[in-house]
A and B are shown apart, each in its own frame.
Chain A
Amino acid sequence: GNSVTQMEGPVTLSEEAFLTINCTYTATGYPSLFWYVQYPGEGLQLLLKATKADDKGSNKGFEATYRKETTSFHLEKGSVQVSDSAVYFCALSSGGSNYKLTFGKGTLLTVNP
C-alpha cells in the first residue's frame, strides 16, 4: 500500500536559516505529491504539489522536486521567516481516481527571531 515517511520533528531554526524537511514515499503507479501546511489555529492548506517525475512545485519561497529514482519529495526553503512556523505534511495520491491522500506524520517547524 501507499505510505509516506517524513523527517521527525520538531525542527527549530533561526530566522533566515536554510530549511530542508525530508520526505520519501512508497506508492503504486505514478503518484502525485503534495506538501500541506497547518499554521497555528488554522486548517490544512496546500503549499505546493508536483504531478509527475522531475516536476518542481514551488510557492512562497518553498520548493520540492519530484524524484522518482529516489522516491523523494524533500521540502526546501532558502531563508525561513518567523511566519513559516507551522506543521508541514508530505502527502501523496495515486491510483486511477487520484483522490485519496496519504499523509506523513507531520513535522513541526519553529522559527525564532
Chain B
Amino acid sequence: GAGVSQTPSNKVTEKGKYVELRCDPISGHTALYWYRQSLGQGPEFLIYFQGTGAADDSGLPNDRFFAVRPEGSVSTLKIQRTERGDSAVYLCASSLGQGATEAFFGQGTRLTVV
C-alpha cells in the first residue's frame, strides 16, 4: 500500500481481555516502530524492529505487552489481560532503516478498555 496501515482503527474491549493490533508497514521498509499516545501526551516509544527481530523493546511497559514481526513485514502488538490504563492510541511507524531516516506513521488504533 501507499502508506502504513493499521487495523482496526478503533477497538473497544473489556478489562481483562486479550487484544491484537496489526500494522502493515510501507513495502520495503525494514524498520518498524510501535508508539503509544495517551490523551494530551506525545507518542511514547514501545518497541523497534529491524527486520524480524526486536532490536529494542525497552519501552514496553510490562510483560502483558508483546509484539511480533515473523516475516519482517506485518507486525502485531499483543496485549494480555487488558487494563483501563492501557486505553490509548497505538501508533505504528516504518522507515527504510535506522538512523535519522524519516519514519512514516500510520493513523493509529484507538484502544478503549472498559
A binding-site residues for B, Cβ under 8 Å:
4, 32, 36, 41-46, 49, 51, 89, 91, 93, 97-106
Contacts and interface: CB of A to CB of B under 8 A. Distances in A.
The 8 A-B residue pairs whose C-beta atoms are closest, nearest first, are: A103-B42, A44-B105, A99-B98, A43-B105, A32-B100, A43-B107, A46-B102, A100-B45
Nearest to A6: B42
Interface string B30-74: 010101000011111100100000011001000000000000000
A106 B89 CA distance: 14
B33 A99 contact: yes
B3 A49 contact: no
Contacts, number: 63
Interface of B: 3-4, 31, 33, 35, 40-45, 48, 55-56, 59, 91, 93, 95, 98-100, 102-108
A44 B41 CA distance: 14
A99 B4 contact: no
7 contacts: A36-B105, A42-B107, A43-B107, A44-B43, A98-B100, A100-B48, A103-B44
Given A98-B99, A99-B33, A101-B33, 14 more contacts: A41-B107, A43-B3, A43-B91, A43-B105, A43-B106, A43-B108, A49-B102, A89-B43, A97-B56, A97-B98, A99-B31, A99-B56, A100-B45, A101-B45
B81 to A, nearest CB: 27
Contacts of B59: 100
Contacts of A106: 40-42
Given A43-B107, A98-B99, A99-B98, A104 B42 contact: yes
